[in-house]
Structures are given as C-alpha cells and as structure tokens.
Amino acid sequence: MDTMTWMDVALQKANDSLKVGEVPVGCLFVYNNKLIALGNNTVNETRNATRHAEINCIDQVLEFCKVNNLDYKKVFPDIDVIVTVEPCIMCTSALYQLQVRNITYGCANDRFGGCTTVLEIPKIYNSETKIISGVKGDIAMILLKEFYKGTNPNAPESKVKKEHKPKKCPNIESI
C-alpha cells in the first residue's frame, strides 16, 4: 500500500479513538510493507500519561520481534511510522532512539510537537530518520477539533484557584 492508504488506516483508528473519548490519534508501524502495529492513545483508558499511540505501537513491535525471534534493533530501522498528528517530544525522541526509517504525520502538534513544531528532536540525534508532514493533515485536524469541542470526562479536576478576596486584618491600616 502507499502512504495515503496507510494514512487512511491511521485516520480510521483516530476516529475510533474519538468515539471512546480518547485524543484522536491513530498510528501504525509498517515493516516490509506489512502492518505490524496499529495503535491509538489510551491515556484516558489507562490513566497513564505515557500511553500515546506511538508508545503503544512500539510495545507491539517488541512483542512482534519476540514472537518471531527477531532482533528489534534490526527491525526498527526498517519501520515506517504513519501517525495522524505530529508525535510529541517524548514519542519523537523514542522513535529517533529506535532509529525508525520514516515518520509520516498528518497535522502539526502546536502544543507538544517534537518533529519541528515545538522542539526539533531531529537536531539532537544523529539519525537517518526522514520526516514527511502534512499527509491528510486537514482530516486529522478536524478530528482533533471535534475532540477538543467537548470536555474530557477523564480529565482531572482543575486545580486552578478561584478568585480569592483577601481578608481584612483588623489591626492593619491601608495606605
């Protein structure tokens, strides 16, 4: 399959995530033109802030290597990552450390993007990993906007202090 078709698969996974109240990010890892990992964010489900789509896919690849008696250090450099949203700083760093071949993403991640938007992780690592951006990014952005229109039922209660009026001390005069 080509990149556009793979991105369609990732977008469907992102859409599935939206339906269950997760941030709509879909990700897949392709090895030798075969899908070996398909993931989405499970942060709300697991209540674990590190369970991003890319990290979930990395875990699947490690299991794939174990089951197929393959050395993950030889598999990851032949993996193409397709993800609907620019990987965050944490995920981009992990992908670069694993030396994946390509990272193709849809829309930019203006808050946490690690490929170029917030922090340029590629400048930190000596890697051959190539980045391709903007693949069906408009559709990925629509899904994100749809998610952020609503409220996240699993978000922790806000700790922002409400407006506080200072109490007057009886023995202190104001100038």
Active site residues: 54
State residue 141 phi and psi, 5-degree precision. Answer: -65, -40
What percent of the chain is helix, strand and coil (3-state, nearest 5)? 40, 20, 45
Helix (H) or strand (E) run with residue 114 in it: none
Give one DSSP letter per residue of 127-148, joined into a string: ---EEE--TTHHHHHHHHHHHH
